[in-house]
């Protein structure tokens, strides 16, 4: 797995696969003639589904590759293992803006030293981070202080006149 980083966006991570496709633009590769375009491929376990967070993850990888290799990465792909389908994703200006906004929000959360409350939904069950996040336990809408105040609430005595 290639290690990736983008200093400008404060991103680090790993790509599942980075392919290099021969192109009219791109970079030179040692031992290969012509120009080559980096093409990140993100693997997902399940069947093909359109999720914005997958596109943003792929775009973040492209931003890292662009900074590291000094070339443009116009597209990448999501590969779905269960259905053996590959979906090419155009890394548009709008997607790049969403990705940069997500990175900025992440840095703001880290700087504020707060962890957002997990919100459970059906897709949580297939997440590789489920056991760390524990959305059913930590994402409960009931607040502990409300629970405790109700648990220890003393009955009101009626005042006699």
Residue 146 has pLDDT above 70, yes or no: no
Q: pLDDT, tens digit, for every residue of 78-137?
A: 999 999 999 999 999 999 999 999 999 999 988 988 777 778 888 888 888 888 888 877
Are residues 90 and 63 part of one domain?
A: yes
Residues 86 and 146 in one domain: no
pTM assigned to the model: 0.77
Do residues 75 and 144 both lie within one domain?
no
31 shares its domain with 45:
yes
Angle between helix axes 93-112 and 52-69 (nearest 10 degrees) is: 90
Same-domain pairing of 14 and 93: yes
Look at the block and give the residue holding tokens 């596109």: 55
- The larger pLDDT score, comparing residue 52 to residue 146, is at 52
Does some domain include residue 37?
yes
Query: Does residue 159 lie in a domain region?
Result: no
Q: Is residue 61 part of a domain?
A: yes
Question: Do residue 121 and residue 144 come from a single domain?
Answer: yes
Task: Please indicate, yes or no, whether residues 13 and 92 belong to a single structural domain of this protein.
Answer: yes
Q: Is residue 161 included in any domain, yes or no?
A: no
CB neighbours (10 Å) of residue 60? 23
Least confidently predicted of 29-33, 52-56, 148-152, 153-157: 153-157
Mark whether 101 and 142 lie in a shared domain. Answer: no
Task: Give the whole-angstrom CA distance, residue 99 versus residue 133.
Answer: 22
Which position has the higher pLDDT, 60 or 127?
A: 60
Whether 160 is covered by a domain: the verdict is no
Inform me whether the pLDDT recorded for 140 exceeds 70: no
- d(CA 59, CA 102) in angstroms, rounded, equals 11
Report pLDDT for 53.
Answer: 93
Residue 57 shares a structural domain with residue 133:
no
Q: What is the pLDDT of residues 9-43, one digit of tens each?
A: 999 999 999 999 999 999 999 999 999 999 999 99
User: Are 102 and 55 part of one and the same domain?
Assistant: yes
Say how many domains are in the chain: 2
* Residue span of the structural domain in which 67 resides: 3-116
Do residues 129 and 63 share a domain? no
84 shares a domain with 71: yes
């Amino acid at each position: 797995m290639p290690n990736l980083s983008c200093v400008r966006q404060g991103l680090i991570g790993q790509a599942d696969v980075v392919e290099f496709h021969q192109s009219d633009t791109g970079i030179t590769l040692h031992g290969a003639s012509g120009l080559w375009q980096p093409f990140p491929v993100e693997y997902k376990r399940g069947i093909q589904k359109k999720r914005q967070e997958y596109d943003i993850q792929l775009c973040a990888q492209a931003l890292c590759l662009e900074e590291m290799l000094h070339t443009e990465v116009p597209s990448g792909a999501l590969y779905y293992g269960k259905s053996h389908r590959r979906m090419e994703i155009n890394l548009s200006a709008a997607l790049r803006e969403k990705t940069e906004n997500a990175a900025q929000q992440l840095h703001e959360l880290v700087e504020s030293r707060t962890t957002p409350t997990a919100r459970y939904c059906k897709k949580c069950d297939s997440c590789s981070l489920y056991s760390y996040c524990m959305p059913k336990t930590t994402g409960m809408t009931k607040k502990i202080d409300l629970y405790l105040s109700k648990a220890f609430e003393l009955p009101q005595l009626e005042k006699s006149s």
